[in-house]
Amino acid sequence: MSDQSFRISAGDALTAEKITEAGEKPTEAVADYALRLGDDALILAQRLGWWIARAPELEEDVALANIALDQLGHARSFLSYAALAWGRTEDDLAYFRTEPEFVNVQLVEQPNGDFAHTIARQFIVSYYQFELYRRLVDSSDATLAAIAAKAVKEVDYHRDHATQWVLRLALGTEESRRRMIAGLGVMWPYVDELFRDDELVVSLGEAAVLPSSLREDFDTMTGAVRAEAELEHPATDGLRGFVARGGGRDGIHTEFLGPLLAEMQVLARAHPEATW
Amino acid sequence: MSSPGADETEPWPLWEVFVRSSRGLSHLHAGSLHAPDAEMAVRNARDLYTRRNEGVSIWVVRSSDITASDPDAKGAFFESPRGKEYRHAGYYTESEGVKHL
């Protein structure tokens, strides 16, 4: 457990460098948990980065880039913290782990698809992350609490951004509505995995947040947006309506993560030890 | 009315952005952007014009709602007040017999 005297307040600019500098080693279990949250943010950031220079409008290019950079910041903090437990660095964890060593949820590795697919994925992730970080600020682990305090404000904005677009696409043209429904249909099967408890989170007690405890608020909040957007529950839209088996937390991934990692890691692996 | 950007011929409209910084006294014109509606314009403005300056107030106005002075009429419109001292009270001398002026 972290020493309570070391508590980075939300007012301080918490950076990955500061976490490394502080050198407050997490327990093995806390490190495993931080790695999960870091991987979620890292893979999502990598996905969103693809949109840069490809978004439907210049302004949206900037918005998606901002969200990607926020997520990358969260990833760096979580990975830097986890790395301390194993005498490694954030770069080691990001660039020199193989696919089965990644423990992100399968949702974040799903392809960008069209703009509506990306918004659907973002809608789910941002509501999930908001509920998670909102509670993680009370973690008994000081560093996790500090990372969450900084992240929750940013994720609140991501949530707003996704909400605005779900409403506009769903209530826009016939074509935009069709695409929004299709996007939600493709992403929704991966929702259940976000809220599954397992041995690790249960063993962490006050340090972590039980995923299952977030479900009710997630359903209420996203349900309210869907109602406003006049959208049926995705599973009842006559779309695929299945639930993915999940397994991301155990290193089991969909076919989409391998190529993403190949692209993300190629430079670092070609030039190990390089700095720039 | 179809929504902005519904087809090639109807792009997102242009908005003018006015920002008051955290220690600023008034809103200053920061620039412009495209957005489908006012709500999104405010959010885009936050991304484009306030990233390094938290605690701000943002106004967005549809460019088409702004009436500007005619640049070609500058001569008559903004003519210098020089040589028009008679417009100011200080130009006149006090008349005799007028009290308490």
Residues of B in contact with A161 (CB under 8 A): 43
B36 → closest Cβ in A62, A160, A168: A168
Chain-chain contact of B33 with A172 (C-beta, under 8 angstroms): no
Residue in B closest to A161 by C-alpha: B43
B39 → closest Cβ in A58, A164, A172: A164
Residues of B in contact with A66 (CB under 8 A): 47, 51
**Tokens for A114?**
């069209």
Burial of B87 per CB tally in 10 Å (0-12, 13-18, 19+): exposed
Q: Is the dihedral of CA A218, A219, A220, A225 positive or negative?
A: positive
> Which pLDDT band, with edges at 50, 70 and 90, does A12 fall under?
low
Å from B47 to nearest chain A CA? 6
The confidence score (pLDDT) of residue A243 equals 83
Q: Does domain A11-270 have CATH number 1.20.1260.10?
A: yes
Q: Tell me: the pLDDT tens digits for A134-179?
A: 999 999 999 999 999 999 999 999 999 999 999 999 999 999 999 9
pTM of the full predicted structure?
Answer: 0.86
The confidence score (pLDDT) of residue B10 equals 66
Residue in B closest to A160 by C-alpha: B43
DSSP class per residue in chain B: -PPTTSSTTSPPPEEEEEEE-TT-SS-EEEEEEE-SSHHHHHHHHHHHH-TT--S-EEEEEEGGG-----GGGHHHHT---TT-GGGSGGGSPPPTT----
Chain-chain contact of B35 with A59 (C-beta, under 8 angstroms): yes
Q: What is the CA radius of gyration of chain B?
A: 23
Residues of B in contact with A63 (CB under 8 A): 43-44, 47
**Tokens for A65?**
């880039």
**Tokens for A70?**
């926020």
Chain-chain contact of B43 with A161 (C-beta, under 8 angstroms): yes
Question: What percent of chain A has pLDDT above 70?
Answer: 93
Question: What percent of chain A has pLDDT above 90?
Answer: 86
Mean pLDDT, to the nearest integer, of A222-236? Answer: 89
C-beta neighbour count of A82 within 10 angstroms: 25
pLDDT at B1 exceeding the cut of 50: no
A66 → closest Cβ in B35, B39, B47: B47
How many Å apart are CA A129 and CA A164, to the nearest integer? 17
The confidence score (pLDDT) of residue A149 equals 96
- The structural domains of chain B, ordered by start, are 14-68 (3.10.20.520)
The confidence score (pLDDT) of residue A1 equals 42
Å from B2 to nearest chain A CA? 8
The confidence score (pLDDT) of residue A10 equals 46
Chain-chain contact of A66 with B43 (C-beta, under 8 angstroms): no
Chain-chain contact of A173 with B2 (C-beta, under 8 angstroms): yes
Residues of B in contact with A58 (CB under 8 A): 34
Residue in A closest to B3 by C-alpha: A172
How many Å apart are CA A206 and CA A196, to the nearest integer? 17
How many Å apart are CA A15 and CA A77, to the nearest integer? 6
Instruction: Give the 3-state secondary structure of residue A77.
Output: helix
Among A244, A273, A250, A259, which residue's Cα sits nearest to residue A107?
Answer: A244
* Residues in a beta bridge with B14: B34
**Segments making up each domain of chain A, as ranges:** 11-270
Chain-chain contact of B43 with A63 (C-beta, under 8 angstroms): yes
